[in-house]
């Protein structure tokens, strides 16, 4: 019987045939596809013909199709619908993939061919995109250790393999801690909680097989609980469990993994001739240097900290007014901030939430894409990996553009957070392929499912990433979609969040779940007026995380990351009632893989641009100005990584932005 992962997919738009794929198919398909890719790479390296762009660089681009198919399916389900079998496979695949990658990057014959083509680049009649692909290929091999020999080369292979294992262990430990802890509640414990929070906790209890409602460590459950529960004792217990993820001792403790990861990253950078891992990592980003990153973060830190401290004093007075003496604690902040928001802005999230139906917010995100880029969305009836998933065909002017998949609800087997990935990237070489793009979120289930305003913003954020993938229009997949500098990749996603705050969008799509009526004008004004509420808190918890990440990688790796974390926070004067958004043992952005290592700052780097980019629409007189939308697609969304990020932004805006628009957007300007 043919393995469905290795067969030609005859499904609509060649979507993976999930109804035919079982966990037992992954390992044999992986082994076959890995061997096939190895053979393809060997054939390129051993080609007796003189190296050319076509027979070397393009040949590498065309290799590995079967492996990409297998891995795109596997990692999609492993992250969003994990089980013990998939976790075991992930532990098995990760070191093999790292070894495979290291074999390729250390293939001397292959690197010699690439270097020959690179050396002759000025005599070759290459397009701008081909020049870019050649540069990135050559640079990637050099940064991967292709120029190393002997013991250094062998050590680099070992480091890469070990880092892959550690990243997988970190992720699975965190998921285990999040999955296994929950706090049962009595009916009495529910007093004072809005119905939507109670409904979410009852649904969580059903999923856990508990006899009644529970608090879990899913952000979509625990944050509303901390926000609304009047039971300070229960808030403290829940917050302590949330803060302890990855640091509970025993087999799921991530602290030693973090320390070893940092040491190996430093060693890897030193092998390649860099002073620190930050110097290595930031070389290819817009920021370029650790100094530039620190300058941006500190420019935001001081006004954010001042705002947070002023806000903390107000919240402390409110708490003392409730007869609770002592200091404001981290499990108190969200509760009193919510009470303050209700008092100052007359904005009650329990009253707001029925207007933010998941279904209507999905429609809103699609409608904005229709008005901006002419895209239309038609729901598809195709088998997917979980019953919660949905799919749409995306077209423009009657032509197929992409398939978009949405997986919106929290569940025990899904890692926390929200993300976008391409199960198939856009490309024209070696054959035209339309992208298959997935957004994964962790919203609480309900009938209907209701979102917080932050949830709705997350939905728009991830759909901004999806648009970057779907509107890509390049030749080579290696530079398509979101294959851009890490501190540029968040620009399209953060920019798209702005359309949620466009009054006419909320007026049309923020309709009440029971009555169907549009959000009242006074509530709409309160929502927009409160958009910057508690920005001191939000900015401090984020910037503190980014500065700790930078400190971990800019210099000698700390033997004790927790001590280094404490040292950095003490130097910053971190407000005692605010914690890092991601403390070290939970910092999956940084430790689950290399993606955001020494790069967590990139959200803020991108925010400097997104605030300025939305001003381009405002200056044009409309958030849906056709000419500005066309320029955005032409210069940023369709171009992938074919041009340096700063050049792309300058083509769109005519200049690079300063930090002022960000401070203004967050309400932190002096």
Any idea which residues carry the catalytic annotation? 462
Label residue 389 left, alpha or beta by phi (over 0 means left) and psi (-120 to 50 means alpha).
Answer: beta
Q: Would you say the C-alpha torsion 528, 529, 533, 539 has a positive or negative sign?
A: positive
Label residue 605 left, alpha or beta by phi (over 0 means left) and psi (-120 to 50 means alpha).
Answer: alpha
Q: By C-alpha distance, which of 669, 665, 599, 573 is closest to 277?
A: 599
Q: Residue 424 in contact with residue 391, Cβ under 8 Å?
A: no
CA–CA dist 202, 217 (Å, integer): 14
CA–CA dist 298, 304 (Å, integer): 10
> What is the number of helices (H) and of strands (E) in the chain?
27, 7
Three-state DSSP class for residue 643: coil
Q: Residue 433 in contact with residue 69, Cβ under 8 Å?
A: no
Only one residue has tokens 């070990």, namely 162
CA–CA dist 546, 635 (Å, integer): 29
Three-state DSSP class for residue 471: coil
CA–CA dist 150, 79 (Å, integer): 37
Q: Residue 434 in contact with residue 400, Cβ under 8 Å?
A: yes
Q: Residue 661 in contact with residue 604, Cβ under 8 Å?
A: no
CB-facing half-sphere around the CA of 190: CA atoms within 13 A: 17
CA–CA dist 142, 272 (Å, integer): 8
Structure tokens at 75: 């990692």
CA 39 to chain CA centroid, Å, is 33
């Amino acid at each position: 019987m043919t393995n469905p992962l290795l067969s030609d997919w005859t499904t609509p738009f060649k979507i993976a045939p999930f109804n035919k794929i079982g966990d037992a198919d992954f390992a044999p398909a992986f082994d076959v596809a890995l061997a096939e890719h190895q053979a393809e790479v060997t054939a390129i390296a051993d080609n007796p013909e003189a190296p050319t762009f076509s027979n070397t660089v393009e040949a590498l681009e065309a290799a590995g199709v079967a492996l990409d198919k297998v891995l795109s399916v596997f990692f999609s389900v492993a992250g969003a619908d994990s089980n013990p079998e998939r976790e075991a496979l992930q532990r098995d695949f990760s070191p093999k993939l790292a070894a495979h990658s290291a074999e390729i990057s250390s293939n001397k014959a292959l690197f010699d061919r690439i270097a020959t083509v690179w050396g002759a680049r000025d005599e070759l009649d290459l397009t701008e995109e081909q020049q870019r692909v050649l540069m990135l290929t050559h640079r990637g091999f050099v940064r991967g250790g292709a120029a190393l020999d002997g013991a250094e080369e062998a050590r680099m292979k070992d480091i890469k393999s070990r880092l892959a294992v550690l990243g997988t262990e970190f992720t699975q430990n965190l998921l285990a801690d999040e999955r296994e802890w929950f706090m049962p509640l009595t009916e009495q414990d529910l007093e004072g909680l809005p119905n939507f929070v109670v409904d979410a906790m009852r649904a969580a209890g059903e999923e856990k097989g508990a006899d009644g409602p529970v608090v879990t460590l899913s952000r979509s459950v625990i944050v509303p609980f901390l926000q609304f529960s009047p039971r300070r004792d229960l808030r403290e217990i829940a917050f302590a469990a949330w803060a302890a993820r990855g640091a509970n001792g025993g087999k799921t403790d991530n602290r030693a993994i973090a320390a070893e990861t940092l040491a190996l990253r430093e060693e890897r950078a030193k092998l390649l001739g860099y002073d620190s891992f930050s110097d290595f990592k930031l070389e290819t980003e817009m920021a370029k240097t650790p100094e530039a990153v620190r300058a941006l973060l500190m420019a935001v830190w001081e006004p954010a900290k001042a705002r947070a401290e002023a806000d903390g004093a107000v919240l402390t007075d409110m708490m003392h007014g409730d007869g609770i003496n002592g200091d404001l604690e981290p499990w108190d902040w969200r509760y009193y901030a919510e009470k303050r928001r209700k008092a100052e802005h007359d904005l009650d999230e329990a009253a707001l939430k029925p207007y933010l139906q998941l279904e209507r917010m999905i429609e809103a995100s699609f409608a904005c894409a229709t008005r901006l880029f002419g895209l239309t969305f038609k729901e598809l009836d195709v088998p997917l990996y979980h019953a919660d998933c949905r799919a749409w065909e995306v077209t423009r002017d009657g032509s197929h553009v992409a398939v978009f998949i949405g997986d919106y609800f929290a569940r025990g087997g899904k890692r926390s957070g929200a993300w976008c990935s391409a199960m198939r990237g856009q490309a024209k070489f070696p054959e035209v392929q339309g992208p298959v793009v997935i957004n994964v979120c962790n919203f609480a289930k309900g009938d209907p499912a209701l979102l917080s305003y932050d949830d709705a913003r997350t939905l728009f954020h991830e759909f901004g990433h999806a648009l970057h993938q779907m509107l890509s229009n390049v030749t080579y997949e290696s530079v398509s979609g979101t294959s851009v500098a890490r501190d540029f990749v968040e620009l399209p996603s953060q920019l798209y969040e702005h359309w949620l705050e466009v009054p006419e969008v909320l007026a049309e799509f923020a309709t009440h779940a029971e009555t169907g009526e549009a959000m009242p004008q006074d509530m709409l004004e309160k929502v927009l007026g409160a958009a910057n509420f508690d920005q001191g808190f939000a900015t401090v918890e984020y910037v503190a995380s980014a500065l700790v990440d930078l400190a971990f990688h800019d210099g000698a790796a700390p033997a004790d990351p927790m001590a280094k974390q404490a040292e950095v926070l003490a130097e910053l004067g971190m407000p005692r009632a605010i914690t890092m958004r991601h403390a070290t043992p939970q910092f999956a952005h940084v430790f689950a893989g290399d993606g955001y290592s020494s790069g967590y700052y990139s959200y803020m780097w991108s925010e400097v641009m997104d605030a300025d980019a939305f001003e381009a629409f405002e200056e044009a007189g409309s958030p849906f100005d056709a000419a500005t939308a066309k320029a955005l697609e032409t210069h940023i969304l369709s171009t992938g990584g074919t041009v340096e990020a700063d050049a792309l932004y300058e083509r769109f805006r005519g200049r690079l932005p300063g930090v002022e628009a960000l401070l203004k957007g967050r309400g932190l300007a002096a």
